[in-house]
Chain A
């Protein structure tokens, strides 16, 4: 498990490769500087802070050796934590609690010792949260009985919150938890027959649905180090690799790169795609959420999301962005 010591080493002198890469240095430095100005951030500039983009910003700053500037986020996440351990979408909005997993990853990677009580309470809440199981029906292609996580209490299990929960178990060193094992089964079950996945349906009323880049990337990241004899995971990785291009937008691209790197896949022209996506963000909404994800993806194998989420058995792989 990566600890703050490893990231401290980065801060003490070893620049991430991405910042030494001239193709990425300009936009990346600019994005990081923007994030550092206001690390407790909303999805858009001047929006009220939200927990997801703030946690991702903290991880991006940490990954780039600027953890001091990320410290306010950890306090913000602590203030957002409820008595039951959950972390709502914004400090004043206790529900739904799906960002709890991201808060766990941030606390764990920054300072797991000092945040131990928070992490324990959050993990307890995560373990207590269940998606609603639905009766098996020929109209729904996926296994509706598998136990995953919903976006909001009282609803069915979906792909991204389940993937985030699995990443939290891994980050917290609880990858042997039975819920983590079930999450892996669910994420594999939700892969489309020809590869890729969407929000979490496979076939509905007999029709196979379309895959999308972002959920596929997140699922692949969470499934790092797992095997799938059915071959669907392999097809998802192939589809994901094939899907990326210069028009792939920031959040989809960033999660896709994480998903591919998590399985040691090479991504041609990743730097070019990242620069294109960042340019679009700069020209349009200047979203801190998007800048944070792009900055994380620019770290390649050094992304905290990869290091925090990787099972200890998976060997480290060389940076494949070049």
Chain B
């Protein structure tokens, strides 16, 4: 299923049903070289699938939803058998009075159960960016009790031993990253973010959540080394440098306004799943009525880490259009382009 891109006036490009070799041969004959080059890039990069489930609840059948979503996006359960799976929720700081800030424990448990049932060796890992006491973040968010209930192991990514990894993105000046060992050695990293607005970069979901794999012991609290090298650039670079990463987004109780910490709760009832975090985030933006091309780290990721354009994202499950609901965004100059198409902002 494809949908017109709501934030662009560019005409839809109909992709021919050809393989790459056919396209390359044909390319020599084509007059529209620019269009062809773009098409080749799109095809070599690949289309991506994103699954949306609506009417979701934390006490509902989340295991089935996540399993259906992953299979629907092309993940082969046989690939998971005996693989090291790192689930990375968002537990940025303790907040008993703001549960809409952090990934709900039910989402973590459901994802863990799916991967365990497929034979995966599951660990949950997080390196909160705002607090040094990770245990407090686990307890306050309810995740500590949840992990106990399934005897899930937890890796405190802020303090683990680190492995140097070259920066494969090179959007920032950082030559590489210190990744915690359990991240560097994972066969699959699963970003498990909360769907939220972000007061600096507009939206935080699958890609921005992976700031939390960066160890505070090396980068600080907050992870200020990243900020000083550019938030969009380092979000892109981290995603480009990590092992294979997929995304399962908690879009049930979300955050709008002054996210990712001080915003207000917005109920959406969604679970969004995909094997390409950039494509997932582009879909999250559309659900929030935000222009993904204007989210700075997504602008960097487009055509490099994954497709952003709607016509390149196969929508599985529900279509995003009927589910779209405008998330309030702070009325700040650096955020206006993300929602310019709407006209009305909240301060």
Closest CB in chain A relative to B75 CB, distance in Å? 31
Q: Does A81 contact B (CB under 8 A)?
A: no
Contact of A47 with B130 in the complex, beta carbons under 8 Å: no
Q: A155-B224, A252-B136 are in contact. Are A209 and B159 (CB under 8 A)?
A: no
Q: Does B35 contact A (CB under 8 A)?
A: no
Q: Does A150 contact B (CB under 8 A)?
A: yes
Residues of A within 8 A of B76 (CB): none
Residues of B within 8 A of A290 (CB): 135
Residues of A within 8 A of B131 (CB): 198-199, 212, 214-215
Contact of B132 with A247 in the complex, beta carbons under 8 Å: no
Closest CB in chain A relative to B319 CB, distance in Å? 34
Residues of A within 8 A of B199 (CB): 204-205
Residues of B within 8 A of A4 (CB): none
Q: Looking at the complex, which of B63-71, B184-192, B213-221, B303-311 is the stretch in contact with chain A?
A: B213-221
Contact of A152 with B225 in the complex, beta carbons under 8 Å: yes
Interface flags, B163-175, vs A, CB<8A=1, else 0:
0000000000000
Of the residues A50, A96, A210, contact of B95 by C-beta under 8 Å: A210
Contact of B159 with A44 in the complex, beta carbons under 8 Å: yes
Minimum CB distance partner of B129 in chain A: A199
Q: A249-B135, A249-B136 are in contact. Are A155 and B258 (CB under 8 A)?
A: no
Residues of A within 8 A of B225 (CB): 152, 154-155
Q: A205-B199, A249-B139 are in contact. Are A50 and B159 (CB under 8 A)?
A: yes
Closest CB in chain A relative to B144 CB, distance in Å? 8
Contact of A47 with B161 in the complex, beta carbons under 8 Å: yes
Residues of B within 8 A of A7 (CB): none
Residues of A within 8 A of B13 (CB): none
Contact of A209 with B261 in the complex, beta carbons under 8 Å: yes
Contact of B133 with A158 in the complex, beta carbons under 8 Å: no
Docked pose: A210 CA to B130 CA in angstroms: 10
Minimum CB distance partner of B263 in chain A: A207
Docked pose: A214 CA to B134 CA in angstroms: 11
Q: A43-B159, A132-B228, A213-B136 are in contact. Are A151 and B130 (CB under 8 A)?
A: no
Of the residues A47, A90, A251, contact of B133 by C-beta under 8 Å: A251
Q: Does A89 contact B (CB under 8 A)?
A: yes
Q: Does B330 contact A (CB under 8 A)?
A: yes
Residues of A within 8 A of B261 (CB): 209-210
Q: Does A250 contact B (CB under 8 A)?
A: yes
Minimum CB distance partner of A89 in chain B: B217
Docked pose: A151 CA to B227 CA in angstroms: 13
Interface flags, A194-219, vs B, CB<8A=1, else 0:
00001100001101011011110000
Interface flags, A139-179, vs B, CB<8A=1, else 0:
00000000000111011101010000000000000000000
Q: Does B93 contact A (CB under 8 A)?
A: yes
Q: Does B82 contact A (CB under 8 A)?
A: no
Residues of B within 8 A of A289 (CB): 159
Minimum CB distance partner of A154 in chain B: B228
Interface flags, B224-240, vs A, CB<8A=1, else 0:
11011000000000000
Q: A160-B221, A199-B221, A212-B93 are in contact. Are A249 and B132 (CB under 8 A)?
A: no
Of the residues A48, A50, A198, contact of B130 by C-beta under 8 Å: A198
Q: Does B314 contact A (CB under 8 A)?
A: no
Chain A, interface SS category: loop
Q: Does B212 contact A (CB under 8 A)?
A: no
Contact of A155 with B136 in the complex, beta carbons under 8 Å: no
Closest CB in chain B relative to A127 CB, distance in Å? 20
Docked pose: A213 CA to B93 CA in angstroms: 11
Residues of B within 8 A of A250 (CB): 135
Interface flags, B122-144, vs A, CB<8A=1, else 0:
00000000111101100100000
Contact of B132 with A251 in the complex, beta carbons under 8 Å: yes
Contact of A89 with B133 in the complex, beta carbons under 8 Å: no
Closest CB in chain A relative to B161 CB, distance in Å? 5
Q: Does B262 contact A (CB under 8 A)?
A: yes
Docked pose: A285 CA to B148 CA in angstroms: 12
Contact of B133 with A214 in the complex, beta carbons under 8 Å: yes
Of the residues B156, B219, B221, B262, contact of A43 by C-beta under 8 Å: B156
Contact of A158 with B258 in the complex, beta carbons under 8 Å: no
Contact of B224 with A151 in the complex, beta carbons under 8 Å: yes
Q: Does B342 contact A (CB under 8 A)?
A: no
Closest CB in chain A relative to B114 CB, distance in Å? 24
Residues of A within 8 A of B222 (CB): 158, 199
Q: Does B332 contact A (CB under 8 A)?
A: yes
Interface residues in A241-281 (C-beta closer than 8 Å to B)? 247-252, 280
Q: Does B202 contact A (CB under 8 A)?
A: no
Residues of A within 8 A of B161 (CB): 42, 47-48, 90
Residues of B within 8 A of A205 (CB): 199, 258, 330, 332
Contact of A152 with B330 in the complex, beta carbons under 8 Å: no
Of the residues B162, B220, B258, contact of A150 by C-beta under 8 Å: B220
- 26 examples of A-B residue contacts, CB within 8 angstroms: A42-B159, A42-B161, A43-B156, A44-B156, A48-B161, A89-B217, A95-B218, A96-B218, A151-B220, A151-B221, A154-B225, A154-B228, A155-B220, A155-B228, A156-B224, A158-B220, A198-B93, A205-B332, A214-B131, A214-B132, A214-B133, A215-B132, A248-B136, A249-B133, A249-B139, A251-B133
Q: Report the 4 A-B pairs with minimum CB-CB distance, sorted nearest first.
A: A151-B220, A155-B224, A43-B159, A249-B135
- Interface set of B (CB-CB < 8 Å, partner A): 93-95, 130-133, 135-136, 139, 154, 156, 159-162, 199, 216-222, 224-225, 227-228, 258, 261-262, 330, 332
Task: Beyond the given A93-B218, A199-B130, please list 8 additional residue pairs across the A-B interface where CB-CB is below 8 A.
Answer: A42-B161, A47-B161, A93-B162, A156-B228, A205-B330, A210-B95, A249-B135, A251-B132
